[in-house]
Chain A
Amino acid sequence: MIGQSIVLAEGDIPFPPSVEDFFLPSIVPWGEHSVWFTKFTALIWLAVGIAIVFFLLSYRKPQLVPTKRQWIAESIYGFVRNNIAVDMIGAQGVRFAPYFTTLFCFIFLNNLWQIVPFVQISPMSHIAFPAFLAIISYVLFIYVGIRHHGFAKFFKHSLMPPAPWFMQPLLIPIELFSTFVARPISLALRLFANLFAGHIILLVFTFGGFVLLNSDAIFLKPISVLSWAVSIALTFLEALVIVLQAYIFTVLSASYVQGALADGH
C-alpha cells in the first residue's frame, strides 16, 4: 500500500477514480489479480478476529462492578438489545439480540477499515459481502415468520394487506415486490453503495490533490493542500456514515423481523 502511494506520487495517476480501483491485486499469489487471498479476505478475517478476541477477553472474568473493557462490551450488547431489538420487536426481541449484536459488530468493524489509515478500503465496498449479510437477514425474517404463523398464514399475512377484495390484485404484486424482492436488494445495496461512494469520494480528493500538484498551472499547485484537507474532513464524515450504516442495517433487519412476527394490523 505504501508502495502504491509512492507510485502515485510519481505521476500516472488514475484520475478520475473508477470501478477498477476496487479490484486490488491479491496477496497470495502476490500481485496477481486472482481471488484466492486478497486484501479484503485478510480484512474480513482480521475484523472477525478482533471481534471474537475483544468479546472473549472482556467477558472472561465478569465482575459485578464492571471493568472498563467489560463495560464497553456490555454497553455494545446492551445498546443493540435495548435500543434496537427490544425497541423494534418488543419483549421477544431479546431472542434475536445476539444475532443483531453480531451483525452490528461485524458490519461496524468491517466498515471501520474505510477510515483506518493505510487500509482505507472496506470489504463492504464489494457487493458480495453486504449481499450475503442481506441474504442471512432475509432468510431469518422469512423463517421466523413461518415458524410463528405457519406457512400459509405467513404469506397471506405479508402479501394481503387489509383492504377491500377488489384492491387485492393491485396490492398483492406491490407487497410481493416490496417484501420479498426489494427488501434484500435494498439492504445489500444501501450498505454497499454507501461505502463504495465513500471510497470514491476519498479517492477523488486524494488523487485530485496529486493531479493539482502535477498540473502545469502554478496557481493550481497550492490548491492540492486544500484538496487533501477536504479529504481529511470527509474521512470524519465517513466515520459518521460507517456507524450509521451499521446501525441502519441492524435496525432494518429488526424491523423486518418485527413485521414477520406482527399479529394482525
Chain B
Amino acid sequence: MNLAEVSGSLSAIGYGLAAIGPGIGVGLVFSAYIQSTARQPESSRITLPYVWIGFAVIELLALLGIAFGYAFGQ
C-alpha cells in the first residue's frame, strides 16, 4: 500500500531540512549582536565585522546545501 508517493527529486525537501541549522545559527548571531549593542551601544561598530564573519561562515552551510544539491543531485 502506498501511503505517500513522491516522484521527481527529493533534493528540495533535503535542502529544506539542511537550511534549518544555518537558519537557527544566523538567528543566534544577530540576536547576540542586538543584545550586545543594547547593553553597550558604543561597541556596535567594534563587533560589526565579526557579526558579518560569523554570519558568512554559518550562511555557507546553507549555501553548501544549494551547491551540493545540484552537484550530487543528478
Contact = CB atoms under 8 A, between A and B. Distances in A.
Interface of A: 19, 83-84, 87-88, 186, 189-190, 192-194, 196-197, 200, 244, 247-248, 251-252, 255
A190 B66 contact: no
B70 interface: yes
Q: Which of A19, A248, A252 has the most CB of B within 10 A?
A: A248
B66 A251 contact: no
Contacts of B59: 190
A110 B68 CA distance: 24
A189 B52 contact: no
B49 interface: yes
Contacts of B66: 193, 196-197, 200
Contacts of A192: 67
A6 B52 CA distance: 41
A192 B53 CA distance: 17
- Interface majority SS on A: helix, strand, loop or mixed? helix
Contacts, number: 40
Given A186-B60, A190-B60, A248 B67 contact: no
A244 B70 CA distance: 24
* 10 smallest beta-carbon distances between A and B, as pairs: A193-B63, A248-B56, A197-B66, A193-B67, A190-B60, A193-B66, A186-B60, A248-B52, A251-B49, A251-B52
A247 B66 CA distance: 21
Given A189-B67, A193-B63, A255-B49, 11 more contacts: A88-B49, A190-B63, A192-B67, A194-B63, A196-B66, A200-B66, A248-B52, A248-B56, A251-B52, A252-B56, A255-B53
A126 to B, nearest CB: 13
B49 A193 contact: no
Interface string B43-74: 00000010011011101100110110010000
A261 to B, nearest CB: 16
Interface residues of B, number: 13
A128 B56 CA distance: 20
Contacts of A247: 52
Given A189-B64, A193-B66, A197-B66, A87 B56 contact: no
Nearest to B63: A193
Contact of A189 (B49, B63, B70): B63
Contact of B67 (A196, A244, A251): A196
Contact of B53 (A193, A197, A244, A252): A252
A238 B38 CA distance: 29
A264 to B, nearest CB: 20
Contacts of B49: 83-84, 87-88, 251, 255
A19 B11 CA distance: 14
